[in-house]
């Protein structure tokens, strides 16, 4: 079970989230049959949206669109405040390249473009916020987005490690934020610790990476655990939802599907589930139109 742990320093001026997203990214890889670079790129974007959703209250949905111009195409993820995330990468199979050191190449396959975040508070007026992609490595792009758009000084780290068969070994990340009123000296101390922190991939490889991340963030400073919540890859699609989408098509198109195709098949982009609509289903929709 994946989880996110929310913590705050005893002083109350620093807060940190740490995440285990291993199962989330593993599920995404299974559903989309992603290769090395596409798994890591999609996985990092899923973690980024889990972090952004954890920062929201109420019944809010966060959509992250990594709109790069290179071979991976767009990466789209949606996370909610209940711990669910779904997502896909436009071209899941185009790239399987690694560097000589085994590092998975991501940035060049994302390319230049935009990091777009859509926040939907459920009130019908989604809020759009966009920053340019800095490196296409997702973690840096999220950090830049947070600094530019939220004006809360933030440090972020996230990554996905693969095994020899390019299957997900471990995935996770963290967010550290400075809250209003923090003293300069304390900020400097936290900054230094983050700068000297081991690489995120090294921390993820620890036996218990949640504890390793917390130790790296807080050092000896006292902090409190505020909550531990389950997070997971879960799509909210259903036959009914796609039936509603079909219902918006013109009657003539529905009749064509009924008479020529003898039915219809729709595959959800986010989870690859295929829904089949037979002639009776289509008949029902056509009847509702007349």
Which of 190, 270, 275, 277 binds Zn ion (CB under 5 A)? It is: 270
Residue 66 · residue 141 · CB < 8 Å: yes
Site string for Zn ion, 189-228 (x = CB under 5 A): ----------------------------------------
- Phi, psi (deg, nearest 5) at residue 234: -155, 125
- Phi, psi (deg, nearest 5) at residue 151: 55, 25
Is there binding between residue 17 and Zn ion (CB under 5 A)? Answer: no
Site string for Zn ion, 226-245 (x = CB under 5 A): ---------x-x--------
Q: Give exposure, 34-68, as e/b (b: 16+ Cβ within 10 Å).
A: bbbbbbbbbbbbbbbbbbbbbbbeeebbbbbbbbb
CB-wise, 214 or 268, nearer to Zn ion? 268
Q: What part of residues 249-268 is at the interface with Zn ion (CB under 5 A)?
A: 268
Q: What part of residues 105-134 is at the interface with Zn ion (CB under 5 A)?
A: none
- What would the DSSP string read from start to end of 15-50? EEEEEE-HHHHHHHHHHHT--HHHHHHHHHHHHHHH
Nearest distance in Å: CB 93, Zn ion: 19
CB-wise, 218 or 242, nearer to Zn ion? 242
Cα-to-chain-centroid distance, residue 58: 19
Nearest distance in Å: CB 265, Zn ion: 14
Is there binding between residue 28 and Zn ion (CB under 5 A)? Answer: no
Interface ranges with Zn ion (CB under 5 A): 235, 237, 268, 270-271
């Amino acid at each position: 079970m994946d989880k996110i742990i929310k913590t705050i320093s005893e002083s109350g001026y620093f807060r940190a989230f740490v995440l285990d997203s291993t199962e989330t990214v593993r599920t995404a890889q299974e559903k989309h049959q992603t290769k090395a670079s596409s798994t890591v790129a999609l996985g990092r974007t899923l973690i980024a949206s889990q972090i952004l959703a954890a920062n929201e209250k109420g019944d809010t949905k966060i959509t992250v669109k990594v709109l790069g111009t290179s071979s991976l195409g767009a990466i789209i993820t949606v996370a909610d405040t209940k711990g669910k995330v779904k997502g896909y990468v436009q071209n899941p199979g185009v790239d399987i390249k690694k560097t000589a050191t085994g590092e998975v190449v991501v940035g060049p396959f994302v390319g230049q473009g935009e990091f777009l975040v859509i926040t939907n508070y459920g009130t019908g007026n989604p809020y759009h916020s966009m920053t340019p992609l800095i490196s296409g490595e997702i973690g840096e792009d999220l950090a830049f987005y947070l600094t530019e758009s939220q004006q809360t000084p933030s440090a972020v780290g996230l990554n996905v490690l693969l095994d020899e068969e390019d299957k997900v070994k471990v995935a996770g990340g963290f967010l550290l934020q400075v809250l209003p009123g923090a003293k300069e000296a304390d900020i400097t101390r936290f900054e230094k610790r983050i700068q000297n922190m081991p690489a995120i991939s090294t921390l993820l490889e620890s036996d218990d990476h949640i504890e390793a991340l917390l130790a790296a963030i807080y050092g000896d400073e006292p902090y409190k655990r505020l909550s531990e919540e389950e997070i997971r890859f879960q799509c909210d699609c259903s036959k009914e939802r796609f039936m509603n989408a079909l219902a918006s098509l013109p009657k003539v198109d529905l009749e064509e599907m009924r008479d020529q195709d003898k039915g219809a098949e729709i595959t959800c982009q986010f989870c690859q589930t295929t829904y089949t609509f037979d002639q009776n289903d289509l008949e029902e929709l056509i009847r509702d139109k007349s």
